[in-house]
Structure 1
Amino acid sequence: MSLLEVKGLRRDYGKLRAVDNVSFSLEAGGILGFIGPNGAGKSTTLRILATLDVPTAGEVLLEGQSLVDAPDKARPLLGYMPDRYGTYDDVTVREFLDFFARAYGLKGAQRRQRVDSVMEFTGLGPLSEKLTTELSKGMRQRVALGRTLLHDPRLLLLDEPADGLDPRARIELRELLRALADQGKAVIISSHILTELAEICDSCVIIEQGRLLAQGRVEDLLRSSGDSSQVTELVVRLAAGAEGEAMGARAERMLLEQPRVKDVTREGSALRVRLELEPGAGPMQAEAAAAVLLAALVAQGLPVCAFSPRERNLEDAFMTVTKGRVA
């Protein structure tokens, strides 16, 4: 049985339908990415899952118990980190976490042990006596995550946890979340940073205008999108100045004349080429079509320094499924 089951979730605000018949499930130890443009219904869905909002219709089960009918029983199993979080002024990291540990009902030695454990896990131990206002954004994000973990929840709901973090802080946050999943916790991450989700999530849900458009692994989303094209990226060496610009334009014109080329995009010194193959075409057909293009470029005297396939990714899946309609 899934740890979390969402069935036919709907949320109306007057005439506005923010969430429209959304259903998905998540197993213990899984990390699910919640993807959609601004206003798609991601945060509303997370607030419902966190029992901070009540659905107009639908059912949410956590370990078989209804979040709607018995929110008080479900809350000890939930850890919610909103997209806008705060820390109190003039308190240390330890004092901040200790305050929330008390709020969660932890007492005495158990509370001190849990605060120490959370600080060690999140790497906050050396900063325990530092004021929260003196921390970097990445470290404040760790404090917020630590607060979410104090009561040892089974399901973590994280709304844009990597927003505004520098590359190092994002990598460290990603490692923490993977460690939590390895402990058996289920994690839902709402984010618009698709590259981050692709590197950490087991599966994804794509919603737009409150409706679920697709769900599954990235490769499953690509297959279900109905886009059978193979993207191949070409890098053409360009001479300096006007000669290089003319050579790039010449290569672009020549590629666009090829029968299977759908479009060509200039990206600096590279040409990104999209080939449209026959439905059901496999890797061998894609390689053969790419070889024809390479031969044509060489025959025209264009100095190709690299020629390789570009793997489709989560951004491709999102743009295909939503058909580019990003708000």
Structure 2
Amino acid sequence: MGFNRPEAKRLAKAAMRNTDPNPMLVTLVFVLLTTGVSYLVGLVLTNPIYDALYTAYLYLLDGAYDPMFIFKSLLSPGMVAVYMLVSLLLNVYFWVMNFGYASYTLRMARGEQPGYRRLFDGFAALGRAILVSLLTSIFLSLWGLLFMVPYMVVMILAALLGSMGLMMLAILLLIGGMVMMVIFSYRYRLATYFLLDHPEMGALESITQSKQAMKGWKGELFILDWSFFGWLLLVALVELVGIGLGTLFSPALGTLLGTVAAGAFSLWLNPYMNGTEANFYDWVTHGSLSYRENNGPGGYQSPYGNNTPEL
């Protein structure tokens, strides 16, 4: 029997209804700890490259100063270094928090009554949480470079020779490379779940296990992702309607209203999507959507605790 998408979604919604505290509240805390932190950092530290370009552009309009002089004056190496360091630390922080949210939604889907503290599970496995995201990013970047090199070579030849045929070939190579990148990204989708289920497993081994588990299942997960496309469009529509209504009074109010409306809807959609993906993982690895009905090979038991609600 194949993977049952409607049943996986139904079980995810049922798990959301039966989980205490409410997954929407936990997701709100997660958003505040990620998007909220990013927003606050952005208020304190802006992109120096953007600021320098914008200032140089304004002076260029006046025609009074050399834009390159303004650009060099504003864009100091120290400012760039600080911005890059903070951006790097912020990305690492996001990796750790995403690990914790995956832990929460996996437990939620299994009916284990997870609490807010599961959002910080990534800090308890800090090295592995960072390394699995870092290795995945490196692998995808290397694959992307491999696909981009032929495209760039053919594109340069097409420009030098003025060949429309080579130009079309370059476009086909670009499209093919993008498709292959999507396929390769699906190979690594379950790595975090393997780390959560197997605390003794290393980051590289979890990626290997994910690649093996996803053989023959990448298309199914792709279809599962696309089955949420309508919901994502609805989020965008809600945001546009909110912006439109708010703009009747002021542009700032429109932006705020649209963001709040879409954000509120996403508080329900995010645990729903992630819970369904957790059910997909359980199906691929354990052969059952309802994890507690299947002990797995050799009587495999969940490494997590009992069903006692957590704080």
Which structure dedicates a bigger proportion of its chain to helix? 2
Asked whether the two chains share a fold, i.e. TM above 0.5, the reply is: no
TM-score normalized with structure 2 length: 0.25
Which structure dedicates a bigger proportion of its chain to strand? 1
TM-score normalized with structure 1 length: 0.24
